Chains A and B, each alone.
Chain A
Amino acid sequence: MKKLKIASILSCVLAVAMLCGCGAPANSPSSGENQQGETGEHASVIRTVQSNMPDMDPASGSDNSAMIILANVYEPLITLDYDGDFKAVLATEWTSNEEGTEWTFQLREGVTFHDGSNFTADDVVFSFQRFKTIGEGYAYLFNQVESCEKVDEYAVKFVLSEPFGPFLNIVPQFYIVSEETVLANQADGSYGEYGDYGKAWLVTNDAGSGPYMVTEYRAEDRVICARYDAYWGGWDGEFADAPEEISVIGSCEASTVLAQMTNGEVQLSDPWQSIESIETLDEQPGIDISIILNSDVQTMMLNTQKAPTDDVHFRRAIAHLVDYATLANVIFEGSSEAVSPFSSLLAGYTEDITTYEYSLEAAKEELAQSKYADSYGDYTVTLVYATETPAQEKTALLIQASAAQIGIDIQITGTPWLTMMDQASSPESTPNLFITGLRGEYKEIGSNLYSNFHSANQGTWQNTSWVQDPELDAMIDDALATIDYDQRMDKYAQIQQYLSDECFSIGLYQVGQMIAYVDYIYYPVRERALEGLSTTFMQGWDTYFRDFRVL
């Protein structure tokens, strides 16, 4: 039995070591201290978590994680400020010709990129050419833009193939790279004389002019950025307390984030934590929760090419079955009720349309008028939600429960997002009801109208109603080509009324984005929201860290 004894002792030692160990290394000084720039008692560092590692290349990045890096490391010609007005960044002035087909931008002088090279019109021309050629990310927004030409050393001109009303709204999605840096780091690739256009290098490095520069890229872990000391905007005065170092960590497991936030590893959470996790975070001392209405609208798209949702009355019946108040106020606290799949933050949004209130009676009336009045019991209505967003199971259950009360059988399937995107490629494989979050790509409703309802964009997850309506397509095209702002807004309103009548989609609720943050940072959009002021619409710019303060 000697071995048995030795083994028992060994296991006890291990167990004790483990328990002690959990208390040990915390307070001891760490050997490779990197907490620079102490301001007050907290290190001048803000780390945030996101669901994935950022794609830092301005020609391909487009998700939340990527936009945080782009907003802080790169710069566009213009952007939108917190009030929603255009704000000059690398451009100083902009004008257009009367038809809206030529836009000239005067550029800022004295700007340097992170490698020290000077910013000139050549960089803009090169960046645009690279952006369009690579054709990923937000490049599709610039379909109508034919070219970007150099006017002089500090002026460029964009030439459009046809008038595009919301042009200025898309310019913020075009970020400038340094021609010199990219050309110096080109590898072999499929872009002819430009090799790979610096794509491989830009995965782990940056070529921007923004207030922060990438100092370290740890694959599948995090991106670490430090202040760019020579930033043209400077770091004096109100910006002196901005964080010295920022990080984006590419994973946001709920329990992990809770641990990271309580032990000071992370200062700002991602916006995808469940209500239950947010409640737990809120209970921790020193952690506050920010609730801000963002431009996502959780939406249920109805497949118009599949029975029984091919009937307008049946679709309206479904719209009457949604308990909008419970969704916005109980299940997704902090959200607000939606009347359409469009966000109230978008220019052109109107509530002056036919709306559907939650009423089983009204649903029954619509059902009676539909061509399935006698046969709806024979159909199983399919509904999918993404298993990556488990909270949507509650939405699905809510709708299923009220449908069951009037005899409509809804079959719910939680599906991986990958499979949902595949299902969206044909009307036959698209389910009757498709729950997804819709977001405007630029701050005008025309963005959603085109992506979600124009037949030219069908086959994607954004456009799963499969509306085949040349009249609607023409209305959308016409609105987008209207240069006059007020006229364009009128046309947007008419289209919204039409969509509401046909009930191609049901806006479920406007997403109240919940983010946990440590109370010693000044979180600008949160402070504005508390004062009742508008917050930014632009993805990524709510985490423009130069405006943050570490207190």
Chain B
Amino acid sequence: MVEQNGTMATIEQEEEVVLKGWARWKDSAGKAWFRFSRNKLSVVGLLMVLSVVIAAIFAEHIIPYPEHVGAFVDFANASQAPSADHWFGTDTTGRDIFSRVIFAYREALIMAVLVLAIAVPVGVTIGLFAGYKKGSWIDTLLMRTTDIFLGLPSLILAFSIAAVLKPTLTNCMIAVTLTWWPWYARMVYGIASSARNEYYVIGAGLIGAKKPHILFKEILPSCFSPVLTKMALDVGVVVLISASLAYLGLGTQPPAPSLGQMISSSADYMTRYWWMTVYPALAIVYLILGFNFLGDGLRDMLSKGDLKYG
């Protein structure tokens, strides 16, 4: 295995000299795909995430009861157990849970992707700098600021934002993002302060590598794997957070469906109407599962060489 990795790295270097422009891009993309697709689960993950994305985009055309996600009530058919007509049963208002779950993927994806797209880069960059500059005033300033944000309860932050700004999905995401980035900063800080003492990092500094190179090309890759793992799980957590924000009047409002709200509002009668809690939860499990497999594949793709495991 070790030898194989070594050989591949040499081939890569040789080819990089030969290939230029488009051809080179095409080739490296091909190689990336090769690395990615070596693990079948990554491809499964990609397909799962794609299926969610497609479901989210074309929800209205896919779901059996499009009117059930809008202004609609049918109390005569409330709380029906799963059947051929309603695969996931109906909720206490008589709406088809399957249709609402599929439709809710739209809000879930937007929330998860946007929150993480802001929180992760911000948190990772701050953690990287502070970890690399461990002991300096930059470290102190950055990490103590992180501490202040960590101590803020998200509920109170969301409440204040709801009071000052309009309760839209965007503002809702601002509230979540503000409480999210410190977690990544803390995690990356730990890794970076350890990695800066690795020989390859010290070595890179000795041969005159510039700081951005050391930070992003040498230290950052060692953070990929835990960050990707955490991100994939966080997708699910962000989706659930929307339930507590909805309680404060922020974000998704009735009748629009939200996975988090479906779970939290039906938990009380879980033993009686299990389908109202279980199916939305399974929908989240499916989402995280897809992102996790995909994350594993991405990790293999980004970390050059290590193809040993998936």
* Residues of chain A whose beta carbon lies under 8 Å from any beta carbon of chain B: 253-255, 274, 276-277, 279-280, 326, 330-331, 384, 387, 390, 393-394, 396-398, 400-401, 403-404, 410-416, 419, 422
Residues of A within 8 A of B253 (CB): 411-414
Cβ contact within 8 Å between A326 and B75: yes
Given the known interface contacts A276-B269, A280-B271, A404-B71, the answer about A397 and B249 at a Cβ–Cβ threshold of 8 Å is no
Q: Smallest CB-CB separation from B167: which chain A residue?
A: A413
Q: Which residue of A lies closest to B71 (CB)?
A: A404
- Does any Cβ of A come within 8 Å of B255's Cβ? yes
Query: Could you tell me the distance in whole angstroms from the C-beta of B142 to the nearest C-beta in chain A?
Result: 34
Main secondary structure of the interface of A (DSSP, over half): helix
List chain B residues, Cβ under 8 A from A419.
162-163, 248-249
Interface contact A414-B254, CB-CB below 8 Å: yes
Question: Does B70 make an interface contact (CB < 8 A)?
Answer: yes
Interface residues of B in 43-83 (CB under 8 A from A): 70-73, 75-76, 79
CB distance from A257 to the nearest CB of B (A): 10
Question: Can you give 26 contacting A-B residue pairs, CB < 8 Å?
Answer: A253-B268, A255-B267, A274-B268, A274-B269, A276-B269, A279-B269, A280-B269, A326-B75, A387-B246, A387-B249, A394-B92, A394-B93, A396-B254, A397-B93, A398-B75, A400-B255, A403-B71, A410-B71, A412-B254, A413-B253, A414-B253, A414-B254, A415-B249, A416-B248, A416-B249, A419-B162
CB distance from A384 to the nearest CB of B (A): 8
In whole angstroms, how far apart are the Cα atoms of A384 and B248 in the complex? 12
CA distance A276 to B272 in the complex (A): 8
Contact partners of A400 in chain B: CB under 8 A: 71, 254-255
- Minimum CB–CB distance for B258 against chain A, Å: 11
Query: Could you give, for residues 264-291 of chain B, a 1 whenever the CB lies within 8 Å of some chain A CB and a 0 otherwise?
Result: 0101110111000000000000000000
B-chain residues with CB within 8 Å of residue A255 when the two chains form the complex = 267-268
Residue B25, interface by CB 8 Å: no
A255 to B264, CA, bound (A): 13
Q: Which B157-216 residues have a C-beta within 8 angstroms of A?
A: 159, 162-163, 167
Q: Is the CB of B73 within 8 A of A401?
A: yes
What is the size category of the interface that chain B forms with chain A?
20 to 34
* Chain B residue with the shortest CB-CB distance to A253: B268
Residues of B within 8 A of A414 (CB): 246-247, 249, 253-254
What's the Cα separation between A78 and B73 when bound, in Å?
A: 47
Is there an interface contact between B247 and A387, defined as CB atoms closer than 8 Å? yes
Q: Nearest Cβ in chain A — how far from B65, in angstroms?
A: 14
Interface contact B70-A404, CB-CB below 8 Å: yes
B254 touching A416 by the CB < 8 A rule? no
| Beta-carbon contact of A394 and B247 below 8 Å | no
Give Cα A280–Cα B248 distance, bound, in whole angstroms.
28
Given A255-B268, A397-B73, A400-B254; 8 other pairs, CB 8 A cutoff: A254-B268, A276-B79, A277-B268, A387-B247, A398-B75, A400-B71, A401-B71, A414-B247
A253 to B71, CA, bound (A): 30
Q: Name the A residues within 8 Å of B159 (CB-CB).
A: 416
Instruction: Return chain B residues, CB-CB under 8 Å to A412.
Output: 253-255
CA gap between A58 and B246 in the complex, in Å: 36
**Shortest beta-carbon distance from A152 to chain B in Å:** 56
Q: Is the CB of B272 within 8 A of A280?
A: yes
Closest to A254 in B: B268
A390 vs B93: C-alpha distance when bound (angstroms): 12
B230 to chain A, nearest CB (A): 24
Among B75, B92, B268, max chain A CB count under 10 A is at: B268
Q: A residues within 8 A CB of B272?
A: 276, 279-280
Q: Which chain A positions have C-beta within 8 A of B271?
A: 280
CB closest chain-A residue, reference B74: A401
Q: Is the CB of B269 within 8 A of A277?
A: yes
Q: Is B247 touching A416 in the complex (CB atoms < 8 A)?
A: yes
User: Contact: B249 with A276, CB < 8 Å?
Assistant: no
Report the nearest B residue to A388, measured CB to CB. B247
Distance in Å from the Cβ of A391 to the closest Cβ of chain B?
A: 9
**Binary CB contact string for chain B from 69 to 113 against chain A (1 if under 8 A, 0 otherwise):** 011110110010000000000001100000000000000000000
Assembly CA distance A398 to B265 (angstroms): 18
- The 3 lowest CB-CB distance pairs between A and B, nearest first, are A404-B71, A254-B268, A415-B249
Measured in the bound complex, the distance between the Cα atoms of B92 and A397 in whole Å is: 12
Residues of B within 8 A of A393 (CB): 254
How far, in angstroms, from A410 to B93 measured CA to CA in the complex? 18
Q: Which of the listed residues B167, B255, B271 has the most CB atoms from chain A within 10 Å of its own CB? A: B255
Q: Report chain B residues within 8 Å CB of A326.
A: 75
Known: A276-B92, A413-B253. A401 touches B72 (CB 8 A): yes
C-alpha gap A413/B159 in the complex (Å): 15
In the assembled complex, how far is the CB of residue A422 from the closest CB belonging to chain B, in whole angstroms?
A: 8
